[in-house]
Structure 1
Amino acid sequence: METKKLCFLLTCLCLLYHSCLVSAFNYADALEKSILFFEGQRSGRLPADQRMTWRGNSGLSDGYPYHVDLVGGYYDAGDNVKFGLPMAFTTTMLAWSVIEFGGLMRGEAGHAKAAVRWGTDYLLKAATAAPNTLYVQVANPTQDHQCWERPEDMDTPRSVYRVTSQNPGSDVAAETAAALAAGSIVFRRSDPAYSAKLLHTAMRVFDFADRYRGSYSDSLSSAVCPFYCSYSGYHDELLWGAAWLHRASNNFSYMSYIQSNGLTLGAQDDDFSFSWDDKRVGAKILLSKGFLRNKIQAFQLYKVHSDNYICSLVPGTSSFQAQYTPGGLLYKESESNLQYVTATSFLLLTYAKYLRSSNAAVSCGSSLVTAGKLISLAKTQVDYILGHNPAKMSYMVGFGLRYPTHVHHRGSSIPSVHAHPGRVSCNDGFQYLHSNSPNPNVLVGAVLGGPDSRDGFADDRSDYQQSEPATYINAPMVGALAFFAGTPLMG
C-alpha cells in the first residue's frame, strides 16, 4: 500500500515537473529578440552586420545644418524623433542590464554591448560638440507627428535642440552622464580607451548638470512637452547620475556629493515608480548595493527606502499598495504601462541579486520577503508579457505563436525601401496607419505598451497607448530576460 502511494506521489511530481517544463518560455530566444529590436530603432548609417534588414540608412545629415554631427542614435518609439532624455535612459538601462546580467547572456552579450555602444557613441557626440552645451533632441516633434512616413523618407524639419549654461537642462544632462558612466563600466575590459573617454565625458557632463541647474522642460518648452516633459523635475537625475559616477569611478567625491546632497535630491522620499522620467527608486536600489555588499553606512538610508519600495509591490504585506490586473500584471498607467512592468521586473531581480550576495532579506512589517520571492514576482511579470496572460498573447512582437501584428510604428507599418523603393510622402503614409492589414515588416522583439487595467488589448495600430513600442520599454527587459535565460530551472 505504501509503495503504491509513493509511486502515485512520484507520478504526480513528474507530471507537475513536466508541466512546468512544457509551460516554460524560451527565455534565450526572447532575450535575442529583445536586443534585436534596437536594430529596428537605429538612426544613421547602418552597419554591415545589421540584422533587421528591412531598415535602411536614415537621418544622415542630422545636425549638419547647425554645424554639428548628430548622426546616429535611436528613434525612441514609433516616430522619427531622437529625444535625448528617453534615449539616455534607454542607454543607461541597457548598460545596467549588461553590468548585472551580462554573464548570463551567453552568445547575446556581444549584441547587447553593440546596442549600448550605438547609444553611447551618439551621446558622446551630443556631449562633446561644444563647451557647456548638450544637444538633446533632433527633429520638431509636432511636425514629425503630423506625418506618417518611413525614417528613410522623412522630410520634416530635423531641427536641433540643446541645453546650455543660459538655458539649462539638469535632468537630461545628468541622465546623459549616468548613461556614459554606466557605459564606461560595460567597456572597461574590452575597450579601456573608449571606457575612459566615456567616464571622463560623464564627469564633465554631470558637472555641467549640477552647476547650471534647471529643467530642460522649462528651457525648451513645447519642443519637449508634452512628449517627454520632465514631470519629476531634475533632482532625481542628479542623484541617479551621481550614483552611477560613484559606481563607475570609485571617486570619493561622488560619495561625498551623495552624502551632502542626497536629502535635498529626494533620498528620503518613498517612491513607487521607476521610468525614463523618475529615477529615484533606481538610484536607491543602485546605492543600496554599497550598504549590502560593502557596509557603507552612509548608504543604509537607501537600503531602507529600497525595502519600502519592494514591500509596496508584494501582495500580502502590510505595506502593499501596488495595483495588479485580474490577470496578474502590475498596472501603473494607461499609456505604455509595460514600461513600468519591465523596469520594475529589472529592479526586483537586481535587488534580489544584491540581497543574495549578502544573505539579506526585506522586512515588510511582520513579513520577511526573500530574494527568491522577488525573483518569483518578477517571473510572473515577464511571463505575462511573453504570453502567460488571459489573452494568451505575447506582447513581444515576433515571439510565440500569437503576438500583435498592428504595431504603431512608421517603419514597420509601411512597406520597406527594399520592397517599395519609391518614396512614401508624409500624407501618403497615413493609408498604412489606418490599414487593417498586418504590418509588412515585423519589428521583432518590440515590447508594446500593453493591455489595459482589465487585461484588454485591441491590437489596433491607431491606439498608440497600447500598440506603440519604445526603447525604454525594452531596455530593462533585456536584463530581466538575461537572468531567466541564464538561471538554471528558470527556462
Structure 2
Amino acid sequence: MTRRRYARMFSGVLFWICLFTTAGSTTDAQAATFNYAEALQKSLYFYDAQRSGHLPERGKAPGQNRVEWRGDAFLGDGGTLLRTDGSVMTDESNSPVEVDLSGGFFDAGDHVKFGLPFAAAVTMLAWGGLEFEDGYVAAQQWEYLLSILTWAAQYIIAAHPMPNVYVVQVGDGNIDHSFWGAAEIVNTDRPLLVCDPDRPGTEPAAEAAAALAAIAMVFERAGGEAAAYARDADLLGHARQLFAFADTYRGSYSDSHPSVSSFYKSWNGYTDELAWAAAWLYRATGEQTYLDKAETNMNALGLYHTSSTHSWDDKSYGTMILLAQLTDKQSYHDGVQRFLDTWAGGSGAVQMSPGGLAFVSQWGSLRYASSAAFCALVYSATSDISSSLASKYTTFATRQIDYILGDNPRQSSYMVGFGNNPPRNPHHRTAHGSWTGGSPDALPKISRHILYGALVGGPKSTDDSDWEDDRGDYIGNEVALDYNAGLTGALARLVSTNGGQPLADFPAQETRDAEFGVEAKVNVEGTDFIELAVRIENRTAWLARQTPNLLFRFFVDLSDEIATGLDPSTVTVEAGGYNQGGIISPQLKTWDASKGIYAAEISLAGQTMAPANHETYRREVQFRIHLPEGQTLRTVNDWSLIGLSQTFSETDRIPVYEGASLAAGLEPDHNTTCAAVIDLDTPSVLTFPCP
C-alpha cells in the first residue's frame, strides 16, 4: 500500500479549532504514571527491528541482534554509481565509484531506505542523547542508543563516497510497496537515487550533515570506543563536506528525483535544513561561520512558525531551540515560546482534544504530539527560563507522552508491546509474518511477531474513537523511524525526572507456531490402493526464508498386511493426477520394520518455496500407494491417515523435513517434538498433543 506522509499537507486544508481544555490532563509531571524506563527500552528496540544488512550476532547485549525474527537482508544493496547521462561515476583515480549500502534502516513497515526521514530521525535521536544522557543511563539504555547511532553513522558515510555525492534513497517505493512479505525474502530491484552537482539534494545532504555532527558529539561525550570511532571515521569531516555540498549546489532533492514526491516530497523547501545543519555544526565545532549561516537561513525563514512542530520536513522549530540555547538571543526565545505556547494551550492553531491530545494532523497524529513534547522538554530542561514556564511546558509534554502510553479515553497504549491493550497489528510486513502475502489482510489475522516499542500513527481525529487495531489502516497504524524519534528522547527525559526500571531479560522469547503447514485429504481409496493429496506450506517466520530442500513423509502401518504375506518391497508409490514439483520415491522407505511402519517419501528439492505469495508458499503433490494385485490394504492404523477425510484439513502427522532435520509435524512412536498450528481465526495457538 502506498503511503504518503505529508508533513505540511494539513496547512490550509484542516480547519483549526482553538480549543484548549484541561479535560483529561490529570498527570502530575513529578509523579510517574507509567514505567518510562520500560517504554524507553522498547522504543529503542524498534530501531533494532528496522535494521538492514548483515546483522550482528544474536544476543540481548548492546550491539547484538536481539530481534529473534530478524536476519540478514538486502546484502546486495548498493553498486556502481551512475552519472546523469548513465555513464559510470569515477573517483579521482578514475576508478568506478562503488558503494555498499546493505546497512542502514528500513523506513517504516516497508523496506525502502528513504534518506531524508532516516537522517532526520537519527538527528533527533542523537539530540535526545545529548540532552538527556542521564535518563538513558538510568534506564540502562545508553549503550543501546550508541549502537543504533553507530549503525546509522556507518550507513551515512557509506552513502557519501565523494565530497559532492550522496545517495539519498535505496529502493523504489512503488515496487517495494507492491510486495507484502518479510525483509529477509524480498527479491526486487533496488535502484539508487544519487544526488550530485547535476542533481542537487540540499535537504537530505544537509540533514545527514546535522546527523553526523550530533552523533559525533554524543560519541565524544561517551568516550572510549565511541569517541575513537567518531575520530577514525571522521564524522565531522563528512558532516562538513555534506553541508558544503548542500549549501553550494542548492536544489530540492524531490525536484532532482520526482519519484520521491509520492512519499517524502520536500514540502517545506531546503532553507530550514540549511539552518538546522549549520546550527549543529556550530554546536559541534564552535566555528562562527556556521553560526552565521544558521542565523542567516533562520532569519530568512522567519520566527513566527506556530501551526506545526519539528518533523522530517520542517526543521525551523528545532533550529529556533538550538539558536536560543547557543546565542541566548531574545528573538529566538520569543519564537520558541510562541511555538510551544501554541501547543501547551496558550494560543494558536493546535487543537487540544477533550482527552488531552494535542492534534494537528490525522497522518501520524501521535508522531507530531510526541515531537512537540520532546521540543518542550528540551527547551524547558536546558534553557534559562522561568520556573512557571518550564513547569507549563513539562506538564504539557508529560501529558502527551502519557496519552500515548495509555492515559487516554480508550485507556489503551499506542506503543506496540507496552502497557494496557497495546496495538497488536501495526502496518509492518515483517512483523506480520504472513506466508500468503499479497496485502495486509493476508493470513494470519494476528501478527506473529511483537514489534516492541513501535509508535503507531494514532487517532485520525480528536481523541481516538476512530482508531482500530487494523493492519490495513496505514494512516492510523503506520510505524516509522521518525515516529519514534521524538518519543524516544522525551521518554529519556521522563526517566531522569520520574524514574522507572527496564525489564530484565528483555525481550522474552516468542511463542512460535508451526513454520510449515500441512494439509491433506484422501482423493480415492480402493481395495489395494489409496490416493492422497498433500499440500506443504512454507510459513517460516523465525526467520522467514526460502526453502529449496523440503521433504515430507506419509507413514503407513503394514503390520496387518505383512502378517498375511505382504512383502513391503512390492508396494509402489506412484504419481497421482496433480504434482507441483514433488519427486516421488517409487518404493516405501523402511521406518520401523519391527512394527511394520513404512513411509512414502516425497522430496520438494529444487522447489524454492518462500512465505511470500500464493505462487511461492505452497506446493501440492498427489500420489498413490499401491499394493500388488490380490493384496488388501488396511488403513485403520496408518499414522498419517488419522484424522483425514476427503476434504483438505490440517494435520501434524505428515512430518516435514528441512534438509535432514525435522521441521514440523510428528513422527510415529519415537517422536519427541509436538507441532503447533495457528488458529487462523483467533490469536490463540493450538498445540496437538504428543501421541
Deviates more, 1:188-197 or 1:464-473: 188-197
String of CA shifts for 1:92-146, please: whole Å, max 9, x gaps. 011001000012212111101111111111011112x134110010001111111
Paired residues of 1:77 and 1:470 also in contact (CA < 8 A)? yes
Distance of aligned partners of 1:21 and 1:124 in 2 relative to their CA distance in 1, 3 Å threshold: closer
Distance of aligned partners of 1:330 and 1:166 in 2 relative to their CA distance in 1, 3 Å threshold: same
Distance of aligned partners of 1:53 and 1:321 in 2 relative to their CA distance in 1, 3 Å threshold: same
Paired residues of 1:28 and 1:482 also in contact (CA < 8 A)? yes
Provide the residue aligned with 2:208 in structure 1: 176
1:23 is displaced (CA, Å) by 7.5
Provide the residue aligned with 1:14 in structure 2: none
Please state if 1:35 is matched with 2:63: no
> How do 1:29-428 and structure 2 match up within 5 A?
29-48=38-57, 49-64=64-79, 66=81, 67-106=98-137, 107-127=140-160, 129-189=161-221, 190=223, 191-196=226-231, 197-222=234-259, 224-264=260-300, 266-273=301-308, 274-292=310-328, 299-315=329-345, 317=346, 319-355=347-383, 358=384, 360-361=385-386, 369-414=388-433, 428=436
Could you tell me which amino acid in structure 1 is paired with residue 367 of structure 2? Q
Provide the residue aligned with 2:494 in structure 1: 484
1:314 is displaced (CA, Å) by 2.3
Please state if 1:25 is matched with 2:34: yes
In structure 1, what is the Cα distance between the partners aligned to 2:30 and 2:389? 24
SS in 2 for 1:328: coil
Could you tell me which amino acid in structure 1 is paired with residue 166 of structure 2? L
1:198 is displaced (CA, Å) by 0.8
Provide the residue aligned with 1:441 in structure 2: 449
1:488 is displaced (CA, Å) by 4.0
TM-score by structure 1 length? 0.86
In structure 1, what is the Cα distance between the partners aligned to 2:443 and 2:402? 31
Match of 1:467 among 477, 484, 491: 477
Could you tell me which amino acid in structure 1 is paired with residue 74 of structure 2? G
1:430 is displaced (CA, Å) by 2.2
In structure 2, what is the Cα distance between the partners aligned to 1:477 and 1:161? 30
Distance of aligned partners of 1:200 and 1:131 in 2 relative to their CA distance in 1, 3 Å threshold: closer
Could you tell me which amino acid in structure 2 is paired with residue 466 of structure 1? G
Could you tell me which amino acid in structure 2 is paired with residue 270 of structure 1? H
Please state if 1:430 is matched with 2:438: yes
In structure 2, what is the Cα distance between the partners aligned to 1:263 and 1:433? 49
In structure 2, what is the Cα distance between the partners aligned to 1:272 and 1:354? 23
In structure 2, what is the Cα distance between the partners aligned to 1:160 and 1:469? 23
Distance of aligned partners of 1:249 and 1:373 in 2 relative to their CA distance in 1, 3 Å threshold: same
Paired residues of 1:184 and 1:194 also in contact (CA < 8 A)? no
Paired residues of 1:434 and 1:462 also in contact (CA < 8 A)? no
Distance of aligned partners of 1:387 and 1:204 in 2 relative to their CA distance in 1, 3 Å threshold: same
Paired residues of 1:271 and 1:280 also in contact (CA < 8 A)? no
TM-score by structure 2 length? 0.62
In structure 2, what is the Cα distance between the partners aligned to 1:269 and 1:373? 20
1:434 is displaced (CA, Å) by 3.7
In structure 2, what is the Cα distance between the partners aligned to 1:271 and 1:205? 29
Distance of aligned partners of 1:430 and 1:45 in 2 relative to their CA distance in 1, 3 Å threshold: same
1:157 is displaced (CA, Å) by 1.1
In structure 1, what is the Cα distance between the partners aligned to 2:336 and 2:31? 35
Paired residues of 1:148 and 1:433 also in contact (CA < 8 A)? no
Paired residues of 2:412 and 2:422 also in contact (CA < 8 A)? yes
String of CA shifts for 1:146-189, please: whole Å, max 9, x gaps. 11111111112111111111110111111111101101101114
String of CA shifts for 1:423-457, please: whole Å, max 9, x gaps. x5xxx412654446211011011011011223221
Distance of aligned partners of 1:371 and 1:198 in 2 relative to their CA distance in 1, 3 Å threshold: same
1:268 is displaced (CA, Å) by 3.3
Distance of aligned partners of 1:21 and 1:68 in 2 relative to their CA distance in 1, 3 Å threshold: closer
In structure 1, what is the Cα distance between the partners aligned to 2:32 and 2:209? 42
Paired residues of 1:268 and 1:305 also in contact (CA < 8 A)? yes
In structure 2, what is the Cα distance between the partners aligned to 1:20 and 1:238? 35
SS in 1 for 2:193: strand
Distance of aligned partners of 1:288 and 1:155 in 2 relative to their CA distance in 1, 3 Å threshold: same
In structure 2, what is the Cα distance between the partners aligned to 1:460 and 1:403? 12
In structure 2, what is the Cα distance between the partners aligned to 1:256 and 1:148? 48
SS in 1 for 2:475: helix
In structure 1, what is the Cα distance between the partners aligned to 2:433 and 2:440? 6
String of CA shifts for 1:192-240, please: whole Å, max 9, x gaps. 3432411111011001000000100100001x11100000010110000
Paired residues of 2:113 and 2:170 also in contact (CA < 8 A)? yes
In structure 2, what is the Cα distance between the partners aligned to 1:23 and 1:174? 38
In structure 2, what is the Cα distance between the partners aligned to 1:431 and 1:333? 26
SS in 2 for 1:389: coil
Distance of aligned partners of 1:220 and 1:146 in 2 relative to their CA distance in 1, 3 Å threshold: same
1:270 is displaced (CA, Å) by 2.2
Identity of aligned residues (%): 40
Q: How many matched pairs?
A: 444
String of CA shifts for 1:258-316, please: whole Å, max 9, x gaps. 3444322x143424322101110011011110234xxxxxx43221211110121222x
SS in 2 for 1:400: coil
Could you tell me which amino acid in structure 2 is paired with residue 348 of structure 1? A
Paired residues of 2:376 and 2:394 also in contact (CA < 8 A)? yes
Q: Higher relative contact order by CA 8 Å / sep ≥ 6: 1 or 2? A: 1
SS in 1 for 2:195: strand
Bigger share in strand = 2
Distance of aligned partners of 1:259 and 1:32 in 2 relative to their CA distance in 1, 3 Å threshold: closer
Could you tell me which amino acid in structure 2 is paired with residue 303 of structure 1? H
SS in 2 for 1:68: strand
Structure 2, unmatched stretches of 5+, are: 1-25, 58-63, 82-97, 502-691
Paired residues of 2:306 and 2:348 also in contact (CA < 8 A)? no
Paired residues of 1:174 and 1:206 also in contact (CA < 8 A)? yes
In structure 1, what is the Cα distance between the partners aligned to 2:128 and 2:426? 26
Distance of aligned partners of 1:324 and 1:123 in 2 relative to their CA distance in 1, 3 Å threshold: same
In structure 1, what is the Cα distance between the partners aligned to 2:217 and 2:437? 42
